Amino acid sequence: MAQANAPGTISAPSCPADGAVKLTMLLTVAVLLLMMAFGLTMRMAQGALIQIDPTIFYRLMTAHGIGMVGIAGMSGSAIMWYFLSRHVSLAGWVFWIHLGLFVVGVVAILGSIFIGGYAGAWTFLFPLPAISGGVWDVGAAATYLIGVILVGVGFLVYLVEVGRAVIERYGNFANALGWPLLFSGKQDDVPPPTVIAAAAIVVFNGISTVVGAAVLIISLINLYLPSFTLDALLAKNMIYFFGHVFINASIYMAVIAVYEIVPEYTQQQWKVSRSFVASWNAVVFLVMAVYTHHLFQDGVMPAWALVMGQIISYASGIPLLVITTFSLLTYLYRSGIRWDLASALLVTGIFGWSIGAVPAIIDGMISVNNIMHNTQWVPGHFHLYLLLGQVALTLGFSAWLTRTGVHASLSGWNARGFTIYLLGGMGFAIVFLVSGASSIPRRWATHLPEWHLQDQVGSLFALAAILGVGIIVLPITKRLVLSMRG
């Protein structure tokens, strides 16, 4: 695709569908800013700073949820594609299909929400899409589900291609996941971190996509044939399994940027140790088994599943904090790292993810969940590791991708934008946590007067975060466009 680079841009190692990756990053910037504007609108409405009809609020909420989750997945998949192509040979056209299906799916989703009036939240929890209380009709819900299915099919195609290429190079997934090193200490042809991560992601995200596709199609059939009912508990299990794995995968994919870019700064390769391999293999299991922490408030769930949810929630933090975070910090120690926008954002990404894990794990305790479930504690913790985690990693990757030959230290507008974004994002998420501790429910269009102050402070921080992101992405966008014009 667009091979030639704009003047002043260093040529990156060629990646099949390099143009599609850049296009994805442009799309990411646009969708991020739009969805953040939706988010700010919601937050201001909760704080009574503006008046919007609840129907509009819930449409914005649905769009914000699916838009952010979708773009996080899409940008993560672009990052993984970009770096994986350094190690295995991927067919570029597959990523274009993936991107194409994503765009078509997003158009369908936006249409279903803003034309059809669908406002059943991004989680399409059965049977809400079908039973709207007369607000949206079956067609709107169906369009939404079809949109999500299209995005899902795109991901399936993407994952299968990644799996195929990994097998072509490493023979099978046992090798790609580093089992020879893990179990018998074999040192030859150990896969690089990117390959191990990609193989793990293909396994768990592939399974989740298969389950997600099934429950989406079932929900779709149920819309038109309501007598074909679905067990609500089974549906909830399937939906949360799919949703949880998908959004987690978006972070795990983006972390590959750290494995590949940080070594350029520290002059030290990211080492594949036994504990690295063990932690990624553990993640495959943990990320799939942990979703039951979404069902603590369903007394009809078997108790063992809930106990498992709590223990796995805790255990999921160990590979993150003890392996990823710990390794990053030891690599940085005395590394003489040069701080520029890309390196600062990438470290911020791991930082946001790490601190976000704290309130997540705490809410993963049943006794805490009893009073925090579906309060704003939940958006509190996940905005930490999405807004400050996934998004920081994605922006860091984009900054690196569009780096100029000139030495760029973290100064001037970059530094200002970065600081505003970091402080705004932290404040925004922490206000959510405080609101959660004040028992303010999430997903409420209008708030009680005594909650307004918190909402208003939150809005202020949100505005700052958006401003910061805006400042950061302005030059990135310019260079992306230039390099694509080639």
Cα(339)–Cα(410) distance, integer angstroms: 6
Residue 43 makes contact with ligand HEM by CB under 6 A? yes
For other proteins, what does the binding mask look like between residues 57 and 76, x meaning CB under 8 A? -x------------------
Cα(481)–Cα(402) distance, integer angstroms: 10
Q: Which partner from the list ligand HEM, other proteins, none does 465 bind, CB cut-off 5 to 8 Å by kind?
A: ligand HEM
In the bound state with other proteins, the residue whose beta carbon lies nearer, of 125 and 474, is 125
Task: Provide Rg for the chain, Cα atoms.
Answer: 22
Q: Of 128, 118, 106, 115, which Cα lies nearest the Cα of 55?
A: 118
Q: Of 71, 94, 203, 90, which Cα lies nearest the Cα of 158?
A: 94
Among the listed residues 16, 23, 31, 39, the single contact to ligand HEM using CB under 6 A: 39
Give the nearest distance from C-beta 39 to ligand HEM in angstroms: 3
CA 51 vs. chain centroid, Å, equals 30
Cα(9)–Cα(414) distance, integer angstroms: 18
Among the listed residues 100, 107, 224, 229, the single contact to other proteins using CB under 8 A: 229
- On whether the CB atoms of residues 220 and 149 are closer than 8 A, the answer is yes
- On whether the CB atoms of residues 469 and 395 are closer than 8 A, the answer is yes
Residue 442 makes contact with ligand HEM by CB under 6 A? yes
Cα(232)–Cα(240) distance, integer angstroms: 12
Angle at CA of residue 86, ends 83 and 92, nearest 5°: 80
Residue 439 makes contact with other proteins by CB under 8 A? yes
In the bound state with other proteins, the residue whose beta carbon lies nearer, of 33 and 128, is 128
Q: Of 72, 79, 85, which Cα lies nearest the Cα of 21?
A: 79
Residue 376 makes contact with ligand HEM by CB under 6 A? yes
Q: Which partner from the list ligand HEM, other proteins, none does 217 bind, CB cut-off 5 to 8 Å by kind?
A: other proteins
CA 262 vs. chain centroid, Å, equals 20
The helix/strand count (H/E) of the chain reads as 17, 0
Cα(485)–Cα(5) distance, integer angstroms: 8
- On whether the CB atoms of residues 456 and 415 are closer than 8 A, the answer is no
Helix axes 232-266, 341-363, angle to 10 degrees: 150
In the bound state with other proteins, the residue whose beta carbon lies nearer, of 436 and 468, is 436
Q: Which residue type sits at 5?
A: N
Among the listed residues 17, 21, 29, 36, the single contact to ligand HEM using CB under 6 A: 36
Q: Which partner from the list other proteins, ligand HEM, none does 453 bind, CB cut-off 5 to 8 Å by kind?
A: none
Q: Which partner from the list other proteins, ligand HEM, none does 138 bind, CB cut-off 5 to 8 Å by kind?
A: none
Among the listed residues 87, 98, 383, 479, the single contact to other proteins using CB under 8 A: 87
Give the nearest distance from C-beta 388 to other proteins in angstroms: 11
Cα(272)–Cα(256) distance, integer angstroms: 13
Among the listed residues 34, 37, 160, 410, the single contact to other proteins using CB under 8 A: 160
Among the listed residues 15, 150, 165, 386, the single contact to ligand HEM using CB under 6 A: 386
User: How many amino acids of this chain bind other proteins (CB under 8 A)?
Assistant: 127
Q: Which residue is nearest to ligand HEM (CB)?
A: 39
Pick out residues in 390-429 that bind other proteins (CB under 8 A). Answer: 403, 405, 407
Among the listed residues 360, 465, 473, 480, the single contact to ligand HEM using CB under 6 A: 465
Give the nearest distance from C-beta 65 to other proteins in angstroms: 10
First to last CA, the chain: 10
Of 99-107, 415-423, 446-454, 459-467: span binding other proteins (CB under 8 A): 446-454
Query: How many CB atoms sit inside 10 A of residue 125's CB?
Result: 16
Residues binding ligand HEM (CB under 6 A): 36, 39-40, 42-43, 61, 64-65, 68-69, 72, 121-122, 376, 379, 383, 386-387, 390-391, 428, 442-443, 462, 465-466
